[in-house]
Amino acid sequence: MSVKRKRNLSATIALLPTWFAAVVVFVGTMAWSIRLSFTNSTLFPSSTYVGLAQYSKLFASAKWLASLQNVLVFGVLYVAGCLVLGFLLAAALDRKIRFESAFRTIFLYPYAMSFVVTGLIWQWMLNPTLGIQASVRSLGWEGFVLDWVVNRDMAIYALVLAGVWQGAGLVMVIALAGIRGIEAEQWKAARIDGIPVWRIYVSIILPQLGPALAAAGMLLAMGVIKTYDIVVAMTNGGPGNATEVPAKFIMDNLFGRQNLGLATAGATVLVLGVIIAVAPFRYAMHMRNQAKGAA
């Protein structure tokens, strides 16, 4: 016993900084923020509790409601877009393609770049007076319209376009690794049965890629909740509130508008959202691991 104690002592000491970070930073600051969300703090933290007043103010705010709606539309289309395009690219690359590694390099490079860079590139491409729209019009197609970044109804799709451009390569890499891991026997059997290639991808390959694609989707979805940089760089929330997102709403109220109570209430709602979104997955994984252990 005493030997074991001594052995573990160094390990315990080595983990102390991490304990500090986990308890003080992750738990402590979160508790602090949540507490602030129940006070009337504005520029400075206050200890006057106002119950759920900040929350009712939050959900009465048109900007916050717009930001929730925007992040939902953006999130669904961005994650779905990345998954679909990424899987299609992976399936196509799996077909004994010449220059496969060149294609792979091209499809993944945007993922190496920051959201700020991605946002600025697409802001430029979609600039209605000098970008793609102007170029196509000068070719003679005078009525051509591609004004997404300045159009209230389309700005959110401009973000989706840029996001999918940035993230589809990641899904491609994950899907391609998954496809290559599937046994050749299954292919032979399916080919003997005369199943067309596309059906094999849809009915045999795709289901087996489920866990890998789900993991990629999860990762992208976590990114969606944090979406901030790409919006700041590309549209700064505009036009109007068309591309306002919760993370940006919180940042603006924290540091720009000195509205601490409201900002922390928003952050608390985001955290609740993440927990609600992640909990079922964690539970399913936990149950699956237990089932594995029992078998």
Partner 1 sequence: MNQPHPNGPKPARITAGRIGLYAFLVGAALFFLLPLYTMVVTSLKSMDEIRLGQIFALPATLDFSAWVTAWSGACMGTVCVGIRSGFWNSVAITIPSVALSVFIGAVNGYALSLWRPRGANALFGLLMTGGLIPYQIFLYPMVRAMANIGLYNSLAGIILVHVIFGLPLVTLLFRNYFVSVPEELCKAARVDGAGFWRIFFEIMLPIALPMVVVVSMLQFTGIWNDFLLGLVFAGRDNLPMTVQLNNIVNTTMGERTYNVNMAATILTAIVPLAIYFLSGRWFVRGIAAGAVKG
CB 206 within 8 A of CB 88: no
- Closer residue to partner 1, CB minimum distance, 69 or 138: 138
Supply 139's token pair: 């070719």
Tell me if residue 150 falls in helix, strand or coil.
helix
Q: How far apart are CA 237 and CA 78, in angstroms?
A: 17
- Closer residue to partner 1, CB minimum distance, 156 or 164: 164
CB 115 within 8 A of CB 166: yes
- Closer residue to partner 1, CB minimum distance, 156 or 261: 261
Least distance in angstroms from the C-beta of 56 to partner 1? 20
In this structure, the number of other CB atoms found within 10 A of the CB of residue 96 comes to 6
Least distance in angstroms from the C-beta of 290 to partner 1? 15
- Closer residue to partner 1, CB minimum distance, 8 or 289: 8
DSSP 72: H
Least distance in angstroms from the C-beta of 32 to partner 1? 4
- Closer residue to partner 1, CB minimum distance, 8 or 290: 8
Least distance in angstroms from the C-beta of 159 to partner 1? 14
Which pairs count as long-range contacts for 46-49, CB under 8 Å and 24+ apart, including other chains? Answer: 46/261
> Cα–Cα–Cα angle for 272, 278, 281, nearest 5°?
155
Least distance in angstroms from the C-beta of 183 to partner 1? 10
